Amino acid sequence: MATTLITGGTVVSSTGRAPADVLIDGERIVGVLEPGSRLLGTDVAASVDRVIDATGKYVIPGGIDAHTHMELPFGGTAAIDTFETGTRAAAWGGTTSIIDFAVQRYGERVQDGLAAWHEKAAGNCAIDYGFHQIVGGVDDDSLAAMRSLPDEGVSSFKLFMAYPGVFYSDDAQVLKAMQVSRDTGMLTMMHAENGPAIDVLAQQLVDQGKTDPYYHGIARAWEMEEEATHRAIMLAKLTGAPLYVVHVSAKQAVEQLAWARDKGQNVYGETCPQYLYLSLEEQLGAKSDEWGSFEGAKWVCSTPLRSREEGHQDAMWQALRTNDLQMVSTDHCPFCMKDQKELGVGDFRKIPNGIGSIEHRMDLMYQGVVTGEITLERWVELTSTTPARMFGLYGRKGVIQPGADADVVVYDPNGHTSIGMGKTHHMNMDHSAWEGFEIDGHVDTVLSRGKVIVDDNAYLGAKGDGRFLKRGLSQYLI
Ligand code: DUC
Ligand code: ZN
Ligand code: ZN
C-alpha cells in the first residue's frame, strides 16, 4: 500500500486550524503530525512513497454533498448527469462523497427503487456514494419496506409536500412515514412546500398569460414554504421523528426551524449555494440573445430563488453562522437548456426543476470565507463535517484524523477564476447557472481514499473508484 505525506499546509477542521502534516497509508489517514516530524528517528517525508507539498494551502477533509440527483426522472425528462459524469465533476470541485436520492414512486416497491439506484451507480462513480430513499408513494407496503432501509445502509428518506400526483405525500402519509422514522431512528427529509396550493397559483398565473420562468418563483411563494415547514415541524413533534428540511430558501422557513430548535426539537435544515447567491430579481432580469426572457429557466429550481429585496439571501448566511441551518448541499439536479429546460417555453410549469452545482459548491462556499460571511472552520463544518455527522458517516468521513478515510483536499487560497459557460466545468450541461461568478482560490489536489484523483488541473481518477457507503443513523441528533 502506498504511503503519502501532505506536508507544509494548514490543516483546517470544524474546530480550528494548525500547521500540520498528514500521513496516509493506503486508504486511511494514519497520522496528523507536527510539521517536519520524524518518526522512529527517520524523516517521514524521506520514507513515504509520495510527498504532496501543500505549502501556503489549506488541507481540508473532502467535501460531502449530501443532496444530489443523478439521472432523476423529472417532468418527462431526467437529470442529465449520470453517476459517472456527476461524480467526476464533484471530484474536480473537491467533493469526495455524495449522497444521492434513490426513487420510489406510487405503485412501485421501495426495494426496487433502491435496487435501480444501486444499478445506476455501481462501477460508475469516481468517488464514494451513499443513498437516501425518496418515498413518493406512502402506503402499507412502502411503510413496511422502509423499516429495512437502515440495514441496507440507507438511514434517511425524503418525502414531498409538493408535486401532487408525482411525489406528493398528504399529511396522513407524512404522519405515517414519520412514525416509521421515530421507530427506526431514520431521518425524515422533507421537501417543505404546499404543493396543492402552489399548483392552483401556478394555473392562475398561466391563465393570465404569465408563463415566463420568473413566475415559477411567484407561484412558489415563501408563504408556501413557511407554512409547509411549520406543518412538517408539528407532525415531527407529534410523532417524535427527527426532521431535516432540504433546500431551505425562505427566511420565514428558517424562523420556523429556529423556533422548533429553540424548544429542543430534533429539527435541522440545509440551504444551497443558489439560495445564498442568486435571486428572483436577477431571474426576472435574465435575458439572452439565444433564449430571450426564457434565459431565467436556468435558475428554475424548487424551492425557488427568493427576492433579494426581502432579505432571504442575507438571512441564509446568518442562519449558517448561527447554526439555525446546519449545512450546505447543492441539490445538484442538472438539466440542459436545449431539449430539457426548453420543454417549458410558454409554460413555466413544464421547466424541469433543478440547477447543477456539484462542481462549484466548495468554491462557492469558500467565497463566503473570502467575504467574511463565515469562518474557514465553518466552511469545513458546513460542507464536510456536519454532512458526515448528520448522515451517519462521521469518523470515516468529514474529518482529518487517524483512522479516517484519506479523503483530503488541498485547497489553494490564491488564484482567481471566472466561471464561464459549458467549457469551464465538467458537469454534463450545455450552460452554467454560475456563469460570470468570480472565484478566489481553487482546488489543487483531491485524494479519495488515498488515491490522488485530481492534481494540478489533471483528472487522475477512474469510474469505479467510488464505493457504496453504508451509512449509520445520524450522529447529530440531540
Ligand atoms: N426537489 C429537489 O430536492 N430536487 C429537485 C427538485 C425538487 O423539487
Ligand atoms: Zn425537493
Ligand atoms: Zn433535491
Closest-CA residue, ligand 1 atom 1, reads 302
Q: Which residue ranges have their beta carbon within 6 Å of ligand 1?
A: 69, 191, 246-247, 302, 331, 333, 353-354
Based on C-alpha coordinates, what's the Rg of the chain? Answer: 22
The pLDDT score that the predictor gives to residue 422 is 61
| Ligand 1 atom closest to the CA of 74, numbered from 1 | 6
So what's the pLDDT on residue 40? Answer: 77
Q: Hey, is 216 helix, strand or coil? A: helix
- Any idea which ligand is nearest the CA of 72? 1
Minimum-distance ligand 1 atom for the alpha carbon of 163: 8
Name all contacts of 414-419 with Cβ < 8 Å and 24+ positions apart.
414/56, 414/441, 415/440, 415/441, 415/442, 416/440, 417/442, 419/360
Residues of the chain with pLDDT under 70: 421-423
Task: Compute the distance between CA of residue 451 and CA of residue 449 in angstroms, rounded to an integer.
Answer: 6
Q: Report which residue type is found at 130.
A: G
Q: Are 243 and 232 in contact (CB under 8 A)?
A: yes
pLDDT of residue 38: 84
Measured distance CA(16)–CA(356) in Å, rounded: 31
Give the ligand 1 atom nearest the CA of 354.
5
Q: Which domains occur in the chain, in start order?
A: 3-60+399-459 (2.30.40.10), 62-391 (3.20.20.140)
> Which helix (H) or strand (E) element contains residue 120?
helix 110-121
What is the dihedral angle through the alpha carbons of 390, 391, 392, 394, rounded to the nearest 10 degrees? -60
